[in-house]
Amino acid sequence: MTELISKIELKKIHQIAQRTQQIAHKTDIFCSAILLQAWRRVYYIFNKREIYASLKKRQGSCLRCGRCCHASFKCQHLEYDENGLSLCKVYDRKPLMCSLYPYNANDYFFHLKPTCGYKYDHE
């Protein structure tokens, strides 16, 4: 009986540990996304020429996964079509920062970099 109780307790502890790990991971992603969103705007202000030169080297294309549109908070303009591809409701007048993403090899939400359709030369 005591063995059964300790097994149940161990299972609970394991579940709590897993949940805590998941929350920590999500928090990490959220905070780093907010920081990148702030940083890339500041960087743009002081490095426009470098950014536009860098954009010429950008390869690939957007896969319309839409994940960069809810890297932190989900954008209110984000929708998905019947095939699950992202749709920007304000595509023709979307913010400059959206059009420029990713503007260099460092301008990625870290958790999205491996799956983004855009790549830079040296990667």
Task: Enumerate binding residues for ligand SF4 (CB under 6 A).
Answer: 62-69, 75, 77-78, 86, 88, 90, 94-95, 98, 101, 112, 116-118
Smallest gap, in angstroms, from Cβ of residue 52 to ligand SF4? 18
Give whichever of 43 and 113 is closer to ligand SF4, judged by the CB atom. 113
Helix, strand, or coil (residue 31) = helix
- What's CA 16's distance to the chain center, in Å? 26
Q: Measure Cα distances from 26 to 14, 19, 71, 89, 110 in Å.
A: 18, 11, 11, 27, 13
Smallest gap, in angstroms, from Cβ of residue 82 to ligand SF4? 17
Report DSSP state, residue 83. Answer: T
Give whichever of 37 and 47 is closer to ligand SF4, judged by the CB atom. 37
Smallest gap, in angstroms, from Cβ of residue 46 to ligand SF4? 22
Give whichever of 17 and 63 is closer to ligand SF4, judged by the CB atom. 63
Residue reference for tokens 């209110």: 76
Amino acid 122 reads H
Amino acid 89 reads K
Smallest gap, in angstroms, from Cβ of residue 55 to ligand SF4? 13
Q: Which residue, 99, 98, 106, is CA-closest to 123?
A: 106
Give whichever of 43 and 77 is closer to ligand SF4, judged by the CB atom. 77
